[in-house]
Amino acid sequence: MIILPAIDIIDGSPVRLYQGDYGKKEVVAESVLTTAETFAKTGASWVHMVDLDGAKAGKRINSQLIAETARTISSKVEVGGGIRTMADIEYYLHNGISRVILGTAAIEDPVLLKEAVQKYGNKIAVGLDCKDGYAMGAGWLKGSSMYYTDFAKELEKIGVSTVIFTDISKDGTLSGPNFAMLAELQKSTNMNIIASGGIRDITHIQKLTEMGLYGAICGKSIYAGSLSLKEALAEGEGKC
């Protein structure tokens, strides 16, 4: 299982939110680039980055900083937030990004999603962000009528190979991922599943690894010191 340390960005700085609430923002480091370099030097094969300003505004805002970081570090980078057009996707893929995550666009623009998957295959992932079991978009500010497993099945039909699952109620809480929903998602599809939100310590990494998930995104736990990235990498990727 790959471990993806996370860098969420607002106003050019690494931050963490609590349950997706922009009003509960905590700046967790001084520099996006320095933080990413630290993750890479620790041995992370991937870094997960989110343009939170972009997610809220519906357009790329921190993309230049993200691209510069991706070109600088040795780790692969996946990016989400504010990616709404083929031009957005191509900007990132042509500027050092290895995988682009569609969230709101996957919900609101299935034509774009199909076109992107047909053209770029496994370089396209979908962020499956849920509240009370239903998919959310627009930086977690806008709901939908799609139940998460139904949405996942539709994504698989389109050809999506990787989904990043977040139970928003768990995000930033360190209370553990929603293991039950993750297990249900595993039963519903054959896609690569990346767990995100709520991971606190190595016991959560161990459980996710035992479930056979493709990946786990760790953010607040690393910044808070409750999870050692080095230990998580040894547990997750050491047992691939």
Q: What residues act catalytically?
A: 8, 129
- Do 48 and 26 contact (CB within 8 A), yes or no? no
CB atoms within 10 A of CB 145: 8
CA angle 213, 239, 209 (to 5 degrees): 30
CA 138 to chain centre: 15
- Do 201 and 221 contact (CB within 8 A), yes or no? yes
Task: For residue 218, give the nearest of 9, 72, 68, 4 by alpha carbon.
Answer: 4
How far, in Å, CA of 35 to CA of 37, rounded?
5
Tokens 């980055």 belong to residue: 49
H helices of 73-201, in order, are: 86-93, 104-108, 110-120, 148-158, 179-188
- Do 99 and 120 contact (CB within 8 A), yes or no? no
- Do 14 and 29 contact (CB within 8 A), yes or no? yes
- Do 188 and 210 contact (CB within 8 A), yes or no? no
